[in-house]
Structure 1
Amino acid sequence: MHRPSTAEAEVAAELADVRPGLAARYQAELPGARAAVLTRLWRALAHEPLPWITAREITGDGLTLRLSDGRRLHGPRADPYATAAYVTEVRLEKAAYADPARLMFELGVARGTGFVAELGHSVASLALSRAGQQPVAASDASKEWPVRDWEWEQRVVDGHPYHPGCRSRPGFSVAEQLAYGPEHRPQVELGLWPVPADECLLTGDWPDELRDGEQLLIPVHPWQAAHVLKRGCERGIGGARPLMSLRTLALPGGPHVKTALSARLTSSVRDISGYSIALSATLSAFAEALAARTDGLLHITRTLGAATADSPDLAAVLRESPQEYAGPGERVVPVAALATTELTSSPAWLAAFARLALTVGLQLLDLGVALEAHGQNLLVVLDAEGAPRRLVYRDLADIRVSPARLARHRVPVPELTGRIVTDDETTLRRKLFGSLVAGALAGTAGSAAALGAALETAVRDLPGTADLTVLREEPLPAKALTLMRLSPRTPGDQWARLPNPLLPDPLPPNPLR
């Protein structure tokens, strides 16, 4: 019998107090949540360059990993692009584990204690997220398409398709998850924090309704006000709808606002640096001009204004809603939400979407910009029949810009500094291929076979570039999300090399690197 983890028990106890009507459904969702997180963890163990895994061997009944202490870990053959939960247990020596947190605890790896807790939180929060969904008939689940942009965001219940911490929200109580998590469909009142304008870094335009004389009114997430700033706000904006990123919300009848949220969600603490505020207007204008070179296939949501009170804990960015780029009868859908529709069951549709995404992504990469085009940042414009027509991209904070490539195409080089600027070919390709191909397209396809079929069709007619050659002939880069969580002292991204489904044997035993 499964013994509840600490996180599972804590959520159950809190739920009994704040929403007892969900308690039974929460318990019913726990086994599926464990399998979903265990599947993500097994992907990492099978494919990331974890230093305490010394050998991997595909056998007739699955995959065996040899650990540095001599123990063996056995489970099913790992599809790095699968999104369905297919791993229900793995065996460490003779003991079977269905709980990812308990497995990680038994592995006993260095600096793993915090990650064990995150896995427990991820399972418990995922079960809570699933329990909060409104039951619908299976035949109707994907046919009723949302009308408003934030309704699409609320469809993404399970979070990141490949991160074991897909729903880890440490520091959030059950009541706060229900109040702020987009999958629970809340309305949120943002605080308005007054700061003298001459004490703020401001780029772009700040609307009159967010000013009070000589003060700027900076939107503040209520969790941030309570837990970080330790003070409530006298004024606020009601009716805001949280989007997939949780700290970004759609304002009623207006733009989207990205707020500072100094909590670790999946991998990162979600504050807003002064660096990104300072560059926001320049980046927005530059990206808008570059998108004009794609013959209408790409739109960039404009950054309207960005402000910080000289603190990453008190800052906000106002952006256009992607819905601004929908024509009559069209819908703008976050790529992460495509899996909630019937579209992705069609190989022809997947191939058409992959062709559109790669056409745009590779064109911009050749020009000198690598997009962080994962399923949250990238949106697709669908016509009335559901065909993919154009792309919309939001949040420029983590793109990469190559001055050398821009100069080669006689594109004016913007005045940018810091981590965004690089001419390193590997860095540029990792940024795009890791987010778009191993992320957005893989998550939409849902398996190596479906991804491979879509890519094979999509790349046939693409213009031949050195970047396309690398995409077709080398392993696919993907962020080593678990390695990064277990290496807190190593700054920056770390990478895994995943089997390329375009190659003849797409799923060989993954060599250690």
Structure 2
Amino acid sequence: MRRLEGEFAAELALVRPGLSARYAAALPGARAAVLGRLWRGLLYEPLPGLKAAGPARLLLADGRELTGRERRPYDLGEEPALWLDGRPHTHPAELLAALRLPCTDRLIEDLDHSVASMALSRAGASPPPGDTPEDHEQSVVDGHPYHPGCRNRPGVSVAEQLAYMPEHRPTVALDLLALPLRDCLVSGPWPASLVDGDRLLLPVHPWQTRHVLPALGLRPHVTGAIRARPLMSVRTLAPLGGGPHLKTAFTTRMTSGVRDISPGSVRDCVPLSSLLTTLSARCGGGLRIARYLSGAAGLVNGEHSADLSCMLREPTPGKGPVLPVAAVTRAMAHDPAAWLAAFARLALTDTLGMLALGVALEAHGQNLLVALGEDGLPYRLIYRDLADVRISPARLARNGIESPPVSARLLSDDPAVLHAKLFGSLAGTTFGSLVALFGQRDRAVERRLWAIVAAAAREAFEALPDTPDVRADRNALFGERIVVKAHLVARLDGAPPGDSWTGQPNFLGGRQGT
């Protein structure tokens, strides 16, 4: 047992001793799950000191050899061991340390956190009590299907994970912070129920109250005021009494991003919602946008702060089961080919239409929700969390649409940026994980599933105007390689902030795309 795993075990024995045996039993599987994600990254990301020497073999700069099972970039599942010069390694952090690659100290720490937290998640997880959207949100136990830091949660104790993380199915009591209304940045109509005279009442996550507010010299006006259930993103919660979902600041790094809310996101949330709703309607209205209704940020040292912020989002709409794509299971698709065909038609028609008009969505399994009909097949998609879209002012202008007043970081006319944002998330993550889920490494079945996706893409393109933009989009989606996020590279010591990118084989490309 590595040091961090032992620390988790010791704290768990104090706060929830009944889970100790389950935690210990979950550790080998958690190590294998994170090791599988690490192996994918080592095979397909441009890490210094590694060179591919075959589909399941890597050479290190010092001549050593790392081998494992053949793993395609979309494959899911655990890797029980990888072999470094013939010696098996079962722990991802231990293996990465043994590789002695440059600039990986921070990444090794991430892997240790991810293993310990995933074991805790698996130990505390329980079957969903019902069929509500929140039940489905909380059913995702292992996190991101391809990110080795899928359960990286530094700064969040064992007790806090049990109390706040969605897979443990808690109810979280949000606090209210009273701030001078005149000093707050407010976007959209802030609800009257969260105003007290000349003060704005800002919903605050209790983790933020404990760890961030004291350093700012602040304390809540009311503690435990809003009882809510956390959704997949942890800091977004659905109030038990209904109404808008509350996206709160949770200023620590989880997976690989700090979960605060920038003042720019607060300013952008309402105009972004308006733009995407307009574009969706122009595409036929098949994609429902979960709009932000309002947002607010308070002042710290004379500037609006990402630590004191909250946004209010429309609750999940739809009749029948509505769930994030990341929560889809094999049991939900009695006919996987029919399920994937229905989903692909919806997803590609909607997202390629939006792209042609000028917006690239980050359509991964957390942001994209699917509504299922009585026959169990997808009949509508819902898109949420708008802060990472990319907008092309030039494309909007060519379609007679005015560019909204949003942060410059969201704007790009570079087709490569737009294609990476949409295709990296949709083809590289969403379709990849579904094909892997339904195909289970039967390569013949997987080829048929990819062919279904390719056919839906061709059908979607044929329905769009034959413009230079659409032709460029088609060529990129059906190229031999596709650009995706490089999760390991982004966490190397000294890596620049923000996303890193790499190319990987595109299973919609080549013969399958023609």
Structure 1 length normalisation: TM-score? 0.91
Mapped pair 1:255 → 2:234: no
Deviation at 1:332, TM superposition (A): 1.8
Aligned to 1:141: none
Mapped pair 1:173 → 2:171: no
* Matches for 1:199-278 after TM superposition, within 5 Å: 199-230=183-214, 232-235=219-222, 236-252=224-240, 253-278=242-267
Query: Contact 2:49–2:102 at 8 Å: present in 1 too?
Result: no
Aligned to 1:431: 421
Query: Contact 2:480–2:510 at 8 Å: present in 1 too?
Result: no
* Matches for 1:339-354 after TM superposition, within 5 Å: 339=329, 341-343=331-333, 346-354=336-344
SS of aligned partner of 2:352:
helix
Aligned to 2:492: 486
Mapped pair 1:195 → 2:184: no
Mapped pair 1:458 → 2:456: yes
* Matches for 1:358-377 after TM superposition, within 5 Å: 358-377=348-367
Q: Distance in 2 between matches of 1:401 and 1:341?
A: 37
* Higher mean displacement: 436-445 or 183-192: 436-445
SS of aligned partner of 1:452:
helix
Kindly provide the amino acid, as one letter, of the partner of residue 89 in structure 2.
Answer: Y
SS of aligned partner of 2:93:
helix
Q: Distance in 2 between matches of 1:122 and 1:344?
A: 33
Match for residue 483 of structure 2 among 434, 453, 477: 477
Aligned to 1:509: none
Q: Distance in 1 between matches of 2:410 and 2:494?
A: 22
Aligned to 1:500: 506
Aligned to 1:153: 137
Mapped pair 1:183 → 2:171: no
Deviation at 1:239, TM superposition (A): 2.1
SS of aligned partner of 2:103:
coil
Q: Distance in 1 between matches of 2:290 and 2:221?
A: 31
Kindly provide the amino acid, as one letter, of the partner of residue 262 in structure 1.
Answer: T
Kindly provide the amino acid, as one letter, of the partner of residue 469 in structure 1.
Answer: N
Deviation at 1:492, TM superposition (A): 3.0
Query: Contact 1:101–1:119 at 8 Å: present in 2 too?
Result: yes
Deviation at 1:383, TM superposition (A): 1.1
Aligned to 1:90: 82
Q: Distance in 1 between matches of 2:460 and 2:276?
A: 22
Structure 2 length normalisation: TM-score? 0.91
Q: Cα distance 1:345–1:237, how it changes in 2: closer, same or farther (>3 A)?
A: farther
Kindly provide the amino acid, as one letter, of the partner of residue 211 in structure 2.
Answer: H
Query: Contact 1:46–1:56 at 8 Å: present in 2 too?
Result: no
Aligned to 1:280: 269
Q: Deviations over 1:166-196 (max 9, x none)?
A: 1111111110000001000000011101100
Deviation at 1:289, TM superposition (A): 1.0
Kindly provide the amino acid, as one letter, of the partner of residue 37 in structure 2.
Answer: R
Deviation at 1:345, TM superposition (A): 6.1
Q: Cα distance 1:344–1:65, how it changes in 2: closer, same or farther (>3 A)?
A: farther
Structure 1 vs Structure 2: percent identity of aligned residues? 49
Q: Cα distance 1:503–1:291, how it changes in 2: closer, same or farther (>3 A)?
A: closer
Query: Contact 2:342–2:379 at 8 Å: present in 1 too?
Result: no
Query: Contact 2:43–2:52 at 8 Å: present in 1 too?
Result: no
* Higher mean displacement: 441-450 or 463-472: 441-450
Aligned to 2:114: 122
* Matches for 1:284-323 after TM superposition, within 5 Å: 284-309=273-298, 310-323=304-317
Q: Distance in 1 between matches of 2:357 and 2:86?
A: 54
Aligned to 2:97: 105
SS of aligned partner of 1:322:
coil
Gaps (5+ residues) in structure 1? Answer: 137-143, 507-513
Gaps (5+ residues) in structure 2? Answer: 299-303, 463-469
Q: Distance in 2 between matches of 1:218 and 1:79?
A: 46
Q: How many residues align?
A: 486
SS of aligned partner of 1:131:
helix
Deviation at 1:245, TM superposition (A): 0.6
Q: Distance in 1 between matches of 2:200 and 2:165?
A: 27
SS of aligned partner of 1:384:
coil
Q: Distance in 2 between matches of 1:254 and 1:305?
A: 13
Deviation at 1:56, TM superposition (A): 2.8
Deviation at 1:341, TM superposition (A): 4.1
Aligned to 1:74: 67
Q: Deviations over 1:92-137 (max 9, x none)?
A: 1132100001001112222312211211111111111111123x6x
Q: Cα distance 1:505–1:496, how it changes in 2: closer, same or farther (>3 A)?
A: farther
Query: Contact 2:359–2:390 at 8 Å: present in 1 too?
Result: yes
Deviation at 1:156, TM superposition (A): 0.5
Q: Deviations over 1:138-175 (max 9, x none)?
A: xxxxxx89432211111101100000011111111110
Q: Distance in 2 between matches of 1:334 and 1:54?
A: 36
Q: Distance in 2 between matches of 1:280 and 1:502?
A: 33
Q: Distance in 1 between matches of 2:73 and 2:399?
A: 36
Deviation at 1:14, TM superposition (A): 0.8
Q: Cα distance 1:353–1:75, how it changes in 2: closer, same or farther (>3 A)?
A: same
Query: Contact 2:48–2:101 at 8 Å: present in 1 too?
Result: no
Kindly provide the amino acid, as one letter, of the partner of residue 386 in structure 1.
Answer: G
Aligned to 2:466: none
Q: Cα distance 1:74–1:182, how it changes in 2: closer, same or farther (>3 A)?
A: same
Q: Distance in 2 between matches of 1:52 and 1:416?
A: 40
Q: Distance in 1 between matches of 2:213 and 2:505?
A: 45
Deviation at 1:17, TM superposition (A): 0.7
Q: Distance in 2 between matches of 1:428 and 1:128?
A: 37
Q: Distance in 2 between matches of 1:462 and 1:474?
A: 20
* Higher mean displacement: 252-261 or 489-498: 489-498
Kindly provide the amino acid, as one letter, of the partner of residue 395 in structure 1.
Answer: D
Q: Distance in 1 between matches of 2:295 and 2:490?
A: 29
Query: Contact 1:33–1:126 at 8 Å: present in 2 too?
Result: yes
* Higher mean displacement: 15-24 or 47-56: 47-56
Q: Deviations over 1:244-278 (max 9, x none)?
A: 11011111211111111111001110111111111
Query: Contact 2:363–2:426 at 8 Å: present in 1 too?
Result: yes
Q: Distance in 1 between matches of 2:461 and 2:305?
A: 45
Deviation at 1:504, TM superposition (A): 5.6
SS of aligned partner of 1:111:
coil
CA RMSD of aligned residues (A): 1.8
Deviation at 1:340, TM superposition (A): 6.3
